[in-house]
Structure 1
Amino acid sequence: MENFDLTPEEAAIAGNADFIRLKNRVIEKVILLLGELQDALVKVEEGIDFPFAAHWKHSGGKISKGEQYKGFPWVMMDYPRYFSKEEIFAFRTMFWWGHYFIATLHLSGGAKEQFSTALKDAYEPLKAGGFQVYLREDPWEHDFENGSYAYIEDLSLEDWNKLISRYDFLKLAKRFEIGDWGEMISGVATTYATLLDALHGKTGY
């Protein structure tokens, strides 16, 4: 039989209603933050000439939340978001309690194929921008733990090109610390703009 006795630390948390109140308020503020972020991403799009396919933008944004991503609460916003078996074009911003925010561009199928050449050409600006590329075969891990990602600056151009062609999907991401809360919106919006420029071949290199 498993031991169900509470440790002193567990008992203190279980009897502390303020902890849950604070946790709920934090989640509410994360949701508000992500709502403001979506507005900032829309403004990024209004300021550029990017070849969005109509169906990539049809669904609008979506904010989701849960309690157990690898044991911790999470909130995520997908904007833009298009997910199908044949194709994915999505920009996901995720808050992971006790860890960080992660902003991820996820491409697969036709969307990935459309931009593969531009991505290969964007090696230098993406490397300079501190981006990381996803390494695993399962595309549905959302964090930087256990070697899921590698900094592009740590890859040779040859390795970068191989990774782009390795799977039928590609994920590029940047990490933002929770302590940098006040810079989150501008930081992620800049990340989104940089990625769109890279996909569109407007890298400045």
Structure 2
Amino acid sequence: MENFDLTPEEASLVGSPHFIRLKNSAIDKVMGLMGRLQEALAAYDRNTDFPFQPEWLLQGGKISKGEQYKQLPWVMLDYPRYFSKTDVFALRTMFWWGHYFSCTLHLGGAVKEHFREALVYGYTNLTEAGFQVYLQENPWEHDFENGNYCLIADLSFDDWKTLLSRHSFIKLAKPFAIGRWGEIITDVVAAYATLLNVLNNKG
């Protein structure tokens, strides 16, 4: 028979609204932080010579949140954001409760093929910047657990070239400790700048 008795820890939580109020307040602050991050990324875009295609920026930014990514709350910013049926050009910044922030460049379809050669020769710069590459078949996993990612530095150059040809998409990502809350905007903009420089063959 199923047991519905609460543990002492569960009973202390459900008997008080305090934790939920704190959690909601923290998520509201993450949402605000993501809004500021979008402004900072857009400001960087206005001052770079990166050859954006118009459609890659026209969809604008999108901030979303939920409660159940691997059973934990999350907040996500997609900016820049371009998703079509076959092509993707997106930077996704995610806060995952109890774990970390992350930023992920997702390129898919013709966009990925357009930048594949630049990514091949960006190997050294991506390695030095500490980026990781996604290894799995399903592009919609976002965490660094369960062998989803590996450091590009752990791949040989030949393995890197092979990996870039394996799927119709590529995802490059970096995690940032939640303790870097005050620096996260600077951290993500710097990672974004590195990625655009690699794609633009500027090292």
TM-score of the superposition, structure 1-length normalised?
0.98
Counterpart of 1:37 in structure 2 is: 37
Identical counterparts, % of pairs: 62
Q: Where does structure 2 lack aligned partners over 5 or more consecutive residues?
A: none
Q: Distance in 2 between matches of 1:2 and 1:61?
A: 45
Counterpart of 2:191 in structure 1 is: 191
1:7-46 to 2 correspondence within 5 Å? 7-46=7-46
Q: Distance in 1 between matches of 2:200 and 2:33?
A: 28
1:14-93 to 2 correspondence within 5 Å? 14-93=14-93
Determine if the alignment matches structure 1 residue 167 to structure 2 residue 167.
yes
TM-score of the superposition, structure 2-length normalised?
0.99
Q: Distance in 1 between matches of 2:56 and 2:88?
A: 8
3-state SS of 2:173 partner: strand
Superimposed CA distance per residue, residues 122-145 of structure 1 (whole angstroms, 9 cap, x where no aligned partner):
000000000000000110000101
Deviation (angstroms), 1:46:
1.7
Determine if the alignment matches structure 1 residue 103 to structure 2 residue 99.
no
| Runs of 4+ that moved beyond 4 A | none
Deviation (angstroms), 1:15:
1.2
Q: Distance in 2 between matches of 1:182 and 1:200?
A: 29
Deviation (angstroms), 1:86:
1.2
Q: Where does structure 1 lack aligned partners over 5 or more consecutive residues?
A: none
1:104-143 to 2 correspondence within 5 Å? 104-143=104-143
Superimposed CA distance per residue, residues 19-64 of structure 1 (whole angstroms, 9 cap, x where no aligned partner):
0110000000000000000011012112211111111111100000
- Give the aligned CA root-mean-square deviation in angstroms: 0.7
Deviation (angstroms), 1:171:
0.1
Superimposed CA distance per residue, residues 125-184 of structure 1 (whole angstroms, 9 cap, x where no aligned partner):
000000000000110000101110000111100011111111000000000110110110
Q: Distance in 2 between matches of 1:74 and 1:49?
A: 33
